[in-house]
Amino acid sequence: MPSAGTEAPASGPTGGAPAPASGTGATAVAPTAEASASGLTGGAPTPGADAPAPTIAPGAGAPAQAPTPAPGVDATASGHTGATPAPAADTHAHPQPLHDPDPYSTPPYGEPGPWAPAPPVQHPAATPAHGVAVGAPLAAPEAGLAAPAADPWARYDPWAVPAAVAPLQQADPVEEDVKRRRGRRRRALIGGALVIALVSGVAGGVVGVQLERNGGIGAVELPQAGVEAPDRDPGSVAGIAAQALPSVVTLHVSGSGTAGTGTGFVLDDRGHILTNDHVVEPAGKNGEITVTFHSGDTAEATVVGRDSGYDLAVVRVKGVRGLTPLPLGNSDNVQVGDPVVAIGAPFDLAGTVTSGIISARERPITAGGEKGDGSDVSYVDALQTDAPINPGNSGGPLLDGKGRVVGINSAIRSADGGLDPEGGQSGSIGLGFAIPINQGKRVAEELIGTGKATHPVIGITLDMEYDGDGARVAAEGSDGGPPVTTGGPGAKAGIRAGDVITKVDGRPVHSGEELIVKTRAHRPGDRLELTLERNGVERTVSLVLGSSDGD
């Protein structure tokens, strides 16, 4: 905007009365009423060349726009009609200043003094509508009064009190409130971020553990049953095994250049353990026997007594407490088809549990005989079972459905047809044999009590070469003496040389070995009833079994 004292360019054919310049306090006069001579346009005349230009507001960078025509001013686009001009003001009159003289010598407008407050922001007027002449008077002033200047900046008074002043607001409290709100918002954001980070960390850790356990993302996870209680029905195989295993031991025997492994089980809390004679036989008189319990503890053992005829032996461990003996059953109660469980250390695999049934009862078997003189032959009226028994099971317990011992595993039938205590190395073919516990109990009691076992005898010598049906009495004794011991049970019953015994207690016998087995199934002092043939005549005799020590 041009500064005070410069000429404003003419605006065309219209003209206006000049307004005198008054320095810093110049006042604007009303425009003249003279209309445009050309008649082309109508409206308020623009200031003349001598009229002072409106001043620039302090700090403004562009001239203020012309004021918007007041309501009621008729401006037509055709230019044939014009607005009624305001009456001419007295050019010689000195209008009364709008304020008192400035006692502080405020600098000219446009340069605020050092103590003057910043002028309020002036919003430019709206642009006049199309066809309205710029500079049209707002309204006709009353007669005799000078019209106010069209430019509001020309009469800006920094010290004047505006007619309507909006209540001022302090900036500092607002700024403080904004800062507080921002601070609270920032703290809330930080707190939320910490909570999110904590939750994310925990969730990430859980997810990471699951991924590590399950093999990562996309790993296959198959359905699986949950953890169950370890307890089992006492009558099940698992229940029987859980009860019996702490009382079953593994024996490692060495001596005389040989070694072997077998099984045994605890008889009492004094450390007595029952096993097979052929298990401890390698130890001899100066060998070593090591007993390993189910817990893994070991102890040295010594032989209490052994008997090759029954293939039974008792050893004892010392310094061991807390032993639990296995309960003993009654082998006379066992029936074919009853379920049984065998426990042992086949091929030194300690604590092996197998199960099956009783396949037969009173199965006469003989085992051993490697020495050739018959001193190591065992005669057993055995229980037959199909529970898998292998080398190393010898001496282990055969348990009934209530976990009671009904037999001592002793021998197996091998695939080559042989029958011996270990059955070679061919393994089980489902033909296992156990010494009945009734016989084992009697022998164990004698071995613990005296170190020896007694054998029931008839007092006769048998012809082991006889291939006919039954057991024939030999023509002479093994030592050259009589075949029927003088004064023995057989002699008292009237048995003679050449008699063929066909039945024991009404049950048939087919060989000499079978007669020995049937006899040793009894105790000394038991009464037997024998059926025999003499010269084609069958007769029955009764006798009381005698006793002999050793083999």
- Which three-class secondary structure state does DSSP give residue 161? coil
State how far the Cα of 373 lies from the Cα of 361, in Å rounded to an integer: 29
Residue 547: pLDDT above 70? yes
The alpha-helical segments, DSSP class H, found in 215-336 are: 237-244, 277-280
CA-nearest of 490, 498, 485, 486 to 530 is: 490
pLDDT at 457: 93
State how far the Cα of 135 lies from the Cα of 232, in Å rounded to an integer: 113
Q: Exposed, middle or buried by CB within 10 Å (0-12, 13-18, 19+), for 219?
A: exposed
Token pair of 249, please? 């031991």
Residue 445: pLDDT above 90? yes
pLDDT tier for residue 155 given thresholds of 50, 70 and 90: low
Phi and psi at 411, nearest 5°, equal -150, 160
8-state DSSP, 81: S
What is the phi-psi region of residue 227: left when phi exceeds 0, alpha when psi lies from -120 to 50, beta otherwise? beta
Min mean pLDDT across 9-23, 293-307, 490-504 is at 9-23
- The model's pLDDT over 400-443, given as tens digits with 9 standing for 90+, comes to 999 999 999 999 987 765 565 654 556 788 999 999 999 999 99
pLDDT at 188: 85
Helix (H) or strand (E) run with residue 357 in it: strand 352-367
- The model's pLDDT over 493-533, given as tens digits with 9 standing for 90+, comes to 999 999 999 999 999 999 999 999 999 889 999 999 999 99
Q: Which residues are catalytic?
A: 278, 311, 394
The distance of Cα 431 from the centroid of its chain, to the nearest Å, equals 46
Sign of CA dihedral 128, 132, 134, 140: negative
More confident residue, 34 or 92: 92
State how far the Cα of 265 lies from the Cα of 323, in Å rounded to an integer: 10
pLDDT at 302: 95
pLDDT at 375: 64
* Per-residue exposure over 508-531, b if at least 16 CB sit within 10 Å of its own CB, e if not: ebebbbbbbbbbbbbeeeeebebb
Min mean pLDDT across 151-160, 186-195, 453-462 is at 151-160
State how far the Cα of 536 lies from the Cα of 375, in Å rounded to an integer: 34
Q: Could you write out the DSSP letters of every residue in 49-116?
A: TTSPPPPPPTT--SPPPPPPPPTT----SSSSS-PPPPPPPPTT--PPPSS---TT-PPPTTS--SSP
Residue type for position 136: A
- The model's pLDDT over 169-192, given as tens digits with 9 standing for 90+, comes to 544 455 556 777 777 888 888 888
- The answer for residues whose C-beta is within 8 angstroms of residue 183's C-beta and 6 or more apart is none
Q: What is the mean pLDDT of the segment spanning 55-79?
A: 43
Do residues 416 and 424 touch, judged by C-beta distance below 8 A? yes
State how far the Cα of 342 lies from the Cα of 355, in Å rounded to an integer: 6
pLDDT tier for residue 207 given thresholds of 50, 70 and 90: confident
DSSP-assigned beta bridge partners for residue 435: 408
Q: What is the mean pLDDT of the segment spanning 248-269?
A: 94
Q: What is the mean pLDDT of the chain?
A: 76
Token pair of 182, please? 């921002």
Min mean pLDDT across 54-63, 99-108, 115-124, 490-499 is at 54-63
Q: What pTM value is reported for the model?
A: 0.60
Min mean pLDDT across 152-166, 206-220, 520-534 is at 152-166
Residue 334: pLDDT above 60? yes
pLDDT tier for residue 119 given thresholds of 50, 70 and 90: low
Q: Exposed, middle or buried by CB within 10 Å (0-12, 13-18, 19+), for 458?
A: buried
Token pair of 241, please? 């095994």
Min mean pLDDT across 179-183, 253-257, 458-462, 513-517 is at 179-183
Q: Exposed, middle or buried by CB within 10 Å (0-12, 13-18, 19+), for 106?
A: middle
Min mean pLDDT across 79-83, 107-111, 176-180, 521-525 is at 79-83
pLDDT at 203: 84
Over pLDDT 90: what percentage of the chain?
47
State how far the Cα of 269 lies from the Cα of 160, in Å rounded to an integer: 122
Residue 93: pLDDT above 70? no
Residue 7: pLDDT above 50? no
State how far the Cα of 42 lies from the Cα of 79, in Å rounded to an integer: 6
pLDDT at 495: 95
pLDDT at 215: 61
Token pair of 12, please? 């065309």
- The answer for residues whose C-beta is within 8 angstroms of residue 305's C-beta and 6 or more apart is 313, 314, 446, 447, 448, 450, 451, 452, 453
pLDDT tier for residue 477 given thresholds of 50, 70 and 90: confident
- The model's pLDDT over 350-367, given as tens digits with 9 standing for 90+, comes to 999 999 999 999 999 888
pLDDT tier for residue 377 given thresholds of 50, 70 and 90: confident
